[in-house]
Amino acid sequence: MADDLQDIVDDLAERLQRSVAIDDPSIRLLAASRHFGDEDGIRVSSVLNRSIDADVREKILAQGIAQWTSPGRVLAPVAGARPRLCTPVRCAGLLLGYLWLIDSDTPLGEQHRELAREAAKRAGVVLYRRLVVHERTKARHEAILWELVSSDRAIRSQAVEDLRAEQLFPAGSMRFQVLGVRHPALDGVTAPQHAALEAAVGDACDPPAQGSASAGCSLMAANKSRAWLLFARREPPSRKELDAICARLVARFDRLTGDGGQLVFGAGGVVDHVEHVVDSYRQAFLAARAARLVPSLGPIAQWGRLGPYELLLQMPADDLITASHTPALDALEREAGPRGLVTTLETFLDNAGDVARTAQELSIHRATLYHRLKRIEQLTGCALSRGEDRLTLHLGLKMRALAAGYRTESTAASTDGGPPRIRSVS
């Protein structure tokens, strides 16, 4: 199939004696002819890197070429670059790419445009066939992934066999990790947002987003309320690589919807067997929930680094809200009035009772801190020198943070027209 596309490019290039290329809708190179002495910096970069710089791509797309139905002239937004004849590649009403001819000193006439149209039409048929095959394969793999994280053990076992039959993973020992993505609208996400999220995750799944740190592959799945990537690598993605993938995903989603900053991410733990991917999946979405409910943890929360939240998130939401009403903390808030004492207590406990560090973070004198701690003990009836009392207060504070997030989430759902509800994460 790639040879068919390459044949179309080479044939047109030889007939016109000009450099020809075909890109996908994101202006990533699919096929290119040999040079005819008309190449410029953009052409060379595209051939070498299979893509062009993001800012150049955005400026080209800003010229409205995605809406074109016939050839048109594009001014390249780079000094010294030649203009192009851009012919949209379409089939069955879908934009599948662009065919490019570099405009040299001899202007391109109507005959050139007609030949470009014919080549683009042939390329459209090839790319449409490729799209159909790709979508069928993607749908099959996505269905297997959802079965891989099913609550039914028998279904999960069959999914493992199906994945092995598909031979998706390189031979040898693999390690697996799930990256979960949530949108704040949860089940209320609109159809365009759902499509945008799926497209953004698909782009993040592409090889350019993965880097070349270790051999492996990435698979994706998405439904109306969540999307996720499964990394299968000899070595799991580094935090730096996860950050880069999430940044790429957010940027793509933002370009499509304008609210990429609303996405939150959760990285599950690394597992050594595909049978245990379900564990990483559950952890990933618990971590994503933590990033939503406790913004200080996000936007990328990683399982294994969430401290007590890893235990608390596994409690049913209603039970956690009820348990968050710790008598000692209720008394502190009731009697202390201002938020200052609660913040002082949480900072002190987060720093494991380190007075110097706590005073520094709060920008107060140690004597002031000691005075506040004494007042906290009086109001709560707890002794901060006792480990059991510290644990009670610390867990209470973390539960209250999650409970506040659950309540906000429930209120938002009610405001959007749905019934107020608190949901647990499975």
Cα gap 182→106, rounded to integer Å: 52
pLDDT tens-place string over residues 255-291: 877 765 688 999 999 999 999 999 999 999 999 989 9
Check pLDDT > 50 for residue 59.
yes
User: Which 8-state DSSP code applies to residue 163?
Assistant: H
Question: Which strands make up the sheet holding 264-267, listed edge to edge?
Answer: 216-222, 226-233, 175-182, 264-267, 300-302
At 351 the pLDDT is: 92
Check pLDDT > 50 for residue 426.
no
At 349 the pLDDT is: 93
At 213 the pLDDT is: 44
Give me the chain's average pLDDT, please. Answer: 85
Mean pLDDT (whole number) for 402-418 = 66
Cα gap 412→292, rounded to integer Å: 13
Domains of the chain: 2-133 (3.30.450.40), 173-297 (3.30.70.270), 317-415 (1.10.10.2840)
Q: Are 229 and 219 in contact (CB under 8 A)?
A: yes
pLDDT band of 199, cuts 50, 70, 90: confident
At 422 the pLDDT is: 38
pTM for the full predicted model: 0.68
User: Which 8-state DSSP code applies to residue 276?
Assistant: G
Q: Are 403 and 320 in contact (CB under 8 A)?
A: yes
At 161 the pLDDT is: 92
Among 45-54, 105-114, 206-215, name the most confident range: 45-54
**Residue 384 main-chain phi, psi, to 5 deg:** -70, -5
Check pLDDT > 80 for residue 205.
no
At 367 the pLDDT is: 94
pLDDT tens-place string over residues 84-137: 999 999 999 899 999 999 886 666 788 889 999 999 999 999 999 998 888 888
Check pLDDT > 70 for residue 3.
no
The two tokens of residue 273 are 């067997």
Alpha helix ranges (H) inside 206-276: 207-210, 239-257
pLDDT tens-place string over residues 236-249: 889 899 998 998 88
Mean pLDDT (whole number) for 52-57 = 88
pLDDT band of 187, cuts 50, 70, 90: low
pLDDT band of 423, cuts 50, 70, 90: very low
User: What's the number of CA atoms in the CB half-sphere (13 Å) around residue 102?
Assistant: 24
Mean pLDDT (whole number) for 373-378 = 93
pLDDT band of 76, cuts 50, 70, 90: confident
At 424 the pLDDT is: 39
Number of H helices and E strands in the chain, helices first, is 16, 10
Give the whole-number percent of the chain exceeding pLDDT 70.
88
pLDDT band of 418, cuts 50, 70, 90: very low
Output the CA–CA distances (angstroms, integers) from residue 53 to 77, 212, 248, 290, 394, in the order listed.
Answer: 11, 19, 14, 35, 49
